[in-house]
Amino acid sequence: MKVKLLRYLANLGYGTRRDVEWMLREGRVTDADGEVLYGDDKVPHAVIRLDGQPLDPPPGLVLMLNKPTGVTCSTKDHGQLVYDLLPERFALRDPVVSTVGRLDRDTSGLLLMTDDGQLLHRITSPKSGLDKVYEATLAQDLRGDEAATFASGTLLLEGEHKPLLPAELEVTGPRSARLTLHEGRYHQVRRMFAAVGNHVESLHRARVGGLELDGLAPGQWRYLDAADIDRLFGRG
């Protein structure tokens, strides 16, 4: 660790500098052997304990959340936010833990979050080639020509001048489908079905790159490790 412990803990969101000073004075911050640490100390992240517990991951944190419907991908908005589903200190970290892209309030499913700006850019960059899989329930029966339209590479969304990249549609029922996208435009799935005369009643993101929710319940989250990141980019 290159910075002093006082600043480091504050940057991890454990409180203001004053809050952390109080924790240190109370002897709540120790090493793994129970030896009290001080604000000027510079010690490895892995040995630090707060109230006897290891710290959250160091900068470079990545997590996966199964976002429920009714929750907004924002730091400030009306109603419930994704940050309400996480430890409060995550929103106070510096650098901040940000959503990787967004899912709208009415869309559920796999949402990645990280405080690693370079990784965030890498995931969202078109160069990454990460596909995203959505499961949609529709208001009307599918006509049968949607798959060909979405795969054509010629579909224009309302108000746009650049056609969509080809996308793959798998029909899973008269009014349900699985759609694989290779780009991420604003409300893209909903607008695609609107373009063919249908309406999305429910939408769930099931996969990003090589990552799936793997049984993670709505509202639950977990940290991602190096093996998960390899899977995300198709290396696992």
DSSP 5-16: HHHHHHHTTS--
The DSSP symbol for 89 reads G
Residues 28 and 76 in one domain: no
Burial readout 166-195 (b: 16 or more C-beta within 10 A, e: otherwise): ebebeeeeeeebbbbbeeeeeebbbbbbeb
Residue 137: CB atoms within 10 Å = 14
- Each residue's pLDDT, cut to its tens digit, for the chain (236 residues) gives 679 999 999 999 999 999 999 999 999 999 999 999 999 999 999 999 999 999 999 999 999 999 999 999 987 777 899 999 999 999 899 999 999 999 999 999 999 999 999 999 999 998 888 999 999 999 999 999 999 999 999 999 989 999 999 999 999 999 999 999 999 999 999 999 999 999 999 999 999 999 999 999 999 999 999 999 999 998 65
- Read off the tokens for 22: 């109080």
- Read off the tokens for 192: 């695609």
Split into its structural domains, the chain has a count of 3
Q: Which domain holds residue 19?
A: 5-54
- Asked if 32 contacts 20 with a C-beta cutoff of 8 angstroms, the reply is no
Residues 149 and 189 in one domain: yes
Residues 114 and 179 in one domain: no
* CATH code, 41: 3.10.290.10
Residues 122 and 162 in one domain: no
Residues 203 and 137 in one domain: yes
Residues 50 and 17 in one domain: yes
Residues 166 and 49 in one domain: no
Phi, psi of 7 (to 5 degrees): -70, -35
* CATH code, 79: 3.30.70.580
Catalytic residues: 104
Q: What residue type is assigned to position 213 of the chain?
A: L
